């Protein structure tokens, strides 16, 4: 009896040491965030964006960190994902309900916004233009300085505008429902 009790105690202590040895990753340098476009607080989202939020940290952003005229992951880490709960129009192009990656091509005066069918990619390293679902060019505007890359939605008569901003750069992407 004493031997079996001792064996159980040893097994239990062995389990505890395994649990306490678990390593956890540190905090993300560019934390993941979610932005929703929805009719009201209690509604399910019409559009949901999951993205990582890099920080400026006194760096030159557009034209340097996010190069002009090159495909950008639109944030940090994994490519940004956008989910539409119903079909939407982006410009004159229809995007079917579903989940996509969101890439951009920043420019000084306008950005190209890209909805792409490839999911779960790291950055824009494996971006494949042949998987583009829709593209639209939108003008660049400016605003107060934002330290952290941000995406938000504003309700308009025809649907939503997805507003992206970082540093003093802003772009608005129209989605009609």
Q: What is the DSSP string of 50-94?
A: EEE--B-TT--TBTTTB-TTS-B-SSSSBPEEEEESS-EEETTEE
Least confident interval from 1-5, 60-64, 96-100, 140-144: 1-5
The yes-or-no verdict on residue 10 having pLDDT over 90 is: no
Spatial contact of 131 and 117, defined as CB atoms under 8 Å apart: yes
Spatial contact of 54 and 30, defined as CB atoms under 8 Å apart: yes
Instruction: Report residue 58's pLDDT band, with 50, 70 and 90 as the boundaries.
Output: very high
Q: What's the predicted TM-score (pTM) here?
A: 0.84
Identify the pLDDT of residue 92. Answer: 93
- Higher local confidence (pLDDT), 53 or 29: 53
Summarize the confidence of residues 77-102 as an average pLDDT.
96
In the block, residue with structure tokens 């019409």: 46
Question: How far is residue 49's CA from residue 137's CA, in Å, rounded to a whole number?
Answer: 19
Summarize the confidence of residues 55-78 as an average pLDDT.
94
């Amino acid at each position: 009896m004493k031997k079996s009790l001792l064996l159980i105690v040893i097994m239990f202590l062995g389990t505890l040491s395994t649990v306490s040895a678990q390593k956890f990753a540190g905090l993300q340098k560019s934390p993941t965030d979610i932005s929703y476009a929805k009719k009201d607080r209690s509604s399910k989202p019409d559009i949901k964006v999951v993205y990582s939020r890099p920080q400026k940290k006194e760096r030159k952003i557009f034209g340097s960190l996010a190069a002009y005229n090159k495909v950008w992951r639109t944030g940090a880490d994994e490519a940004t994902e956008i989910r539409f709960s119903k079909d939407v129009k982006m410009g004159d192009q229809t995007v079917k309900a579903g989940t996509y990656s969101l890439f951009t091509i920043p420019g000084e005066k306008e950005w190209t916004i890209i909805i792409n069918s490839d999911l779960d990619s790291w950055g824009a390293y494996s971006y494949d233009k042949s998987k583009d679902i829709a593209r639209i060019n939108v003008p660049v505007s400016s605003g107060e300085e934002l330290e952290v890359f941000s995406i938000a939605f504003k309700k308009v008569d025809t649907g939503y505008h997805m507003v992206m901003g970082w540093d003093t750069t802003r772009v608005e992407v129209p989605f009609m429902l």
